[in-house]
């Protein structure tokens, strides 16, 4: 079977789908990814086919950073930058899918679903965060975490959680409705209702794979069998060789704190780095700074801190004491799998959601939002994560559960089940 995966966004929006694509390839399928040009080498380097899609992942992140944790501003920004390229994307996704037998689409690559509908071939959604599948068990990640402990459990919490989904649906749909309507008209498809297609998803039984661990976010009891929680989709890099000096630094003292904010490198990198360095000094801990630390050279750093570019999480996280990061779905998955106490500094609502889950599971302290980040708060959070015995034990037990799962394998089984249905 020829399968096209449509996705877009930052590295974190692409890497899980490369892992999923490799699983499909190992199952005997011919797989290609349709995504932004900067990821062509990454996709092809893993032996998957590739089709180009117009878009600038760095620019998209930079615009979304302006909205921060405000979901309304985020939806407007999402429409602004995505709406500019979706007309090109529609043609590109059509080209990428025209000889496919099935389509797997991410939330950002949602046009793949409409192309598959036009072609009359099956499509399967695939997401790494909860968005539109309604439940009272947890809120939609588009709205972040529940606003207070009163709404984290019991009937009020369940009602709040459920209501976040219609709210998230309309935030997304009303922002994208004109763009989607135009795309469907160009494909010759019927227009969708004014309030969107979401209320009808259950009746249509549209299959969706959810790539997170049920140990981190248990499967809601009301979800039917066309919604599948599979476990995480990890993409490891065995045999990776560290840069000069990194092994020497790791061997020269106690395990350090890893600090990295992924693609979130466009907002005050020098100011954030200064706060991180001061937090490490206050807490008396060594540190490794990962990518995006603009304006700071290695000569500016104390001996207790090492700066490096990208390091695979599966290699690094087994060698550090605490992980401090932005709370992206993939980075959170990697730090929890390693059994690491985790400190989340969220920039976006979905990152605040994963920070809430980390704290709720007792695998780290309460998240420290980027706009409230101070050296004092970060020092206190990292000290708690590194020294609290209960936190370390809970993180280690959670890591053992995640390592026992086979998220990609479960996703491939579910995909075959959905396609055969």
**Structural tokens at position 132:** 């539109």
CA quadruple 97, 103, 106, 107: dihedral positive or negative? positive
pLDDT at 182: 84
**Structural tokens at position 386:** 């590194």
pLDDT band at 365 (very low <50, low <70, confident <90, very high): very high
The fold for domain 246-403 equals Rossmann fold (3.40.50)
Task: Tell me the H-state helices in 9-128.
Answer: 15-26, 40-45, 57-67, 71-83, 86-97, 111-119
Give residue 302's Cα distance to chain centre.
Answer: 32
The fold for domain 2-232+405-420 equals Rossmann fold (3.40.50)
Which residue intervals of the chain bear CATH 3.40.50.2000? 2-232+405-420, 246-403
Of the candidates 321, 320, 342, the residue with the CA atom closest to the CA atom of residue 331: 342
Q: Is it the case that residue 240 has pLDDT exceeding 60?
A: yes
pLDDT band at 113 (very low <50, low <70, confident <90, very high): very high
pLDDT band at 65 (very low <50, low <70, confident <90, very high): low
CA angle, 136 then 140 then 146, to 5°: 75
The pLDDT tens digits of the residues spanning 169-215 come to 888 888 778 888 888 888 898 888 888 887 666 677 889 999 999 99
Q: What is the DSSP string of 138-164?
A: S--GGG-S-SSGGGSSHHHHHHHHHHH
Give residue 48's Cα distance to chain centre.
Answer: 21
Q: Is it the case that residue 118 has pLDDT exceeding 60?
A: yes
Q: What's the average model confidence in pLDDT over 115-122?
A: 94
The pLDDT tens digits of the residues spanning 378-396 come to 999 999 999 999 999 999 9
Higher pLDDT: 15 or 152? It is 15
Burial of 402 (0-12, 13-18, 19+ CB in 10 A): buried
Q: Is it the case that residue 47 has pLDDT exceeding 60?
A: yes
The pLDDT tens digits of the residues spanning 322-344 come to 999 999 999 999 999 999 999 99
Of 126-140, 162-176, 318-332, which range is least confident?
A: 162-176
Q: Is it the case that residue 55 has pLDDT exceeding 70?
A: yes
Distance CA 221, CA 115 (A): 32
**Mean pLDDT value across the chain:** 87
Higher pLDDT: 381 or 10? It is 381
Written in H, E and C, the secondary structure of 311-336 is CCHHHHCCCCCEEEECCCHHHHHHHH
Phi/psi at 379 (5° precision): -60, -45
pLDDT at 202: 66
Cβ distance 263 to 11 under 8 Å? yes
Calculated CA dihedral for residues 18, 21, 25, 31, nearest 10 degrees: -110
Residue appearing with tokens 């390839």: 25
Q: Which letter does DSSP use for residue 308 in this model? A: E
């Amino acid at each position: 079977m020829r399968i096209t995966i449509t996705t877009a966004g930052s590295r974190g929006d692409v890497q899980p789908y490369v892992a999923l694509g490799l699983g499909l390839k190992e199952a005997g399928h011919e797989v290609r990814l349709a995504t932004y040009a900067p990821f062509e080498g990454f996709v092809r380097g893993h032996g998957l086919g590739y089709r180009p899609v117009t878009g600038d992942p760095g620019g998209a992140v930079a615009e979304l950073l302006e909205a921060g944790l405000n979901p309304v501003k985020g939806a407007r920004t999402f429409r602004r930058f995505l709406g500019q390229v979706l007309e090109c994307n529609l043609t590109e996704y059509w080209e990428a899918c025209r000889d496919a037998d099935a389509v797997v689409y991410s939330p950002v690559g949602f046009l793949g679903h409409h192309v598959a509908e036009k072609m009359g071939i099956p499509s399967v959604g695939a997401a790494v965060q909860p968005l539109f599948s309604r439940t009272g068990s947890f809120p939609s990640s588009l709205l972040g975490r529940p606003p207070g402990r009163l709404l984290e459990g019991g009937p009020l919490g369940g009602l709040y959680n459920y209501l976040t989904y219609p709210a998230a649906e309309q935030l997304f749909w009303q922002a994208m409705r004109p763009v989607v309507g135009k795309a469907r008209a160009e494909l010759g498809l019927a227009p969708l209702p004014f309030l969107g297609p979401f209320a009808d998803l259950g009746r249509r039984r549209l299959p969706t794979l959810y790539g997170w661990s049920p140990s981190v976010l248990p499967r809601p009891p009301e979800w039917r069998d066309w919604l599948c929680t599979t476990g995480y989709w990890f993409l490891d890099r065995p045999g990776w060789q560290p840069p000069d000096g990194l092994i020497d630094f790791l061997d020269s003292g106690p395990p350090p704190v890893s600090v990295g904010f992924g693609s979130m490198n466009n907002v005050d990198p020098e100011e954030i780095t200064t706060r991180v360095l001061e937090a490490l000094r206050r807490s008396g801990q060594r540190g490794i700074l990962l990518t995006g630390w603009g304006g700071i050279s290695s000569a500016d750093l104390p001996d207790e801190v090492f700066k490096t570019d990208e390091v695979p999480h599966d290699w690094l996280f087994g060698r550090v004491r605490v992980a401090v990061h932005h709370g992206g779905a993939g980075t959170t998955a990697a730090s929890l799998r390693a059994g690491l106490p985790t400190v989340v500094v969220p920039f976006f609502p979905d990152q605040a959601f994963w920070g809430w889950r980390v704290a709720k599971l007792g695998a780290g302290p309460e998240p420290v939002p980027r706009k409230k980040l101070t050296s004092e708060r970060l020092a206190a959070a990292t000290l708690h994560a590194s020294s609290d015995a209960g936190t370390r034990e809970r993180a280690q037990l959670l890591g053992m559960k995640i390592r026992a799962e086979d998220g990609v394998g479960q996703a491939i089984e579910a995909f075959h089940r959905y396609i055969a249905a």
